[in-house]
Amino acid sequence: MIINATTNQVLLTLSTAKGPGFQFLDLGDNTFEPPFPSQSSPQRVSEDVAIDPVRHLLLSATEQSTYEVGDITDTTTPKLFENDTSGTAFEGEYDSSAEDCTTGVALATDEFTGNLYLADLSQAAFTAGSPGTWTAPQQLQNFPEFDSFDAGTDAVSVAGDTHIAVVNGEFGGNLFGAVVLPSVSGSGGKVPAVSDYIACTIPNTPGGSTFETGDDPHTTTAYASPNTGDAMALVANSHPPTWVAQIDLTKLLNTSIVPRIKNGFAGKHTCDPSVNLETAGVVKFVAVP
């Protein structure tokens, strides 16, 4: 589920009478709107859906390589559009959906790889139909350091209007990353791309145990701090969750705070392991009650 704060609604993914789909809950009067099925083929929904409250869009990237986008200007009569990338250079096992709503750059993770899918929805062309289709400048961008994440890239979340996103795996593992997205939308067919990124390890929990990332649907989210404006990530551990790692992604990407090493790769995109991320003010742990 995900909350649309601008409309005071919750979007849920669920099984409808016509297959996997969606339903809105109005938090004002606790009433449900009629559910509606996904129109992707094969019919699936994303493990983590996203909402663009600026463009009034629902985003649902599926493991079957279809990125479904819904026009939810009127949530009772949504219009669904499909981008099926199967058999193309953009094909992937999309696990989670996200978007930088200030620019319209949409993302999806690509399970079991170090890839991220990016598309510029500000340049998207939507064609009506049953279902409709959409196309936009798009790419699969590879991050070799992310290949080592447990199950590859799985969770992704953008921290407000900071143009910074957190990425991590699932089902255990303590590796994660941060990526810097374009600060403005493209034009003239320009394909969106990540300009900088870093891969790191979440420290051991205060009890001394190795941090184990949660399962799916993923225990990861991001936000812009109302106090500092920094991009912040929250990652919970699992079985059951006992700790939430609060990560300052802005500080993490600052090389004067967290120096980088090559770690066997072409560029310097890995945290220097000699840096104590807790002492540096990058990571702190919050106990789950």
CATH number where 111 lies: 2.130.10.10
Residue 213, both tokens: 């990332």
d(CA 118, CA 70): 17
Cα 276 from Cα 274, distance rounded (Å): 6
Question: Is 106 part of a structural domain of the chain?
Answer: yes
Residues 6 or more apart whose CB falls under 8 angstroms from that of 197 comprise 143, 145, 177, 178, 179, 180, 269
Q: Is residue 235 part of a domain?
A: no
- Residue 228's H or E segment, with its range, is none
Provide Rg for the chain, Cα atoms.
Answer: 19
Tell whether 154 is covered by a domain: yes
Residue 277 half-sphere exposure toward CB, CA atoms < 13 A: 26
In a domain, 74, yes or no: yes
Enclosing domain of residue 40: 2-217
Q: What is the pLDDT of residues 196-224, one digit of tens each?
A: 999 999 999 998 999 999 998 899 999 99
Total of domains in the chain: 1
CA separation (Å) from 186 to 113, 252, 268? Answer: 26, 26, 27
Has residue 112 been placed in a domain?
Answer: yes
The answer to whether residue 53 sits within a structural domain is: yes
CA distance 266 to 232: 28
pLDDT tens column, 9-66: 999 999 999 999 999 999 999 999 999 999 999 999 999 999 999 999 999 999 999 9
Residue 288 maps to a domain: no
Number of H helices, E strands in the chain: 1, 25
**Its pTM surpasses 0.85:** yes
Task: Give 50's Cβ-side CA count (13 Å radius).
Answer: 32
Is 19 domain-assigned?
A: yes
* pLDDT single digits (tens) 151-192: 999 999 999 999 999 999 999 899 999 999 999 999 999 999
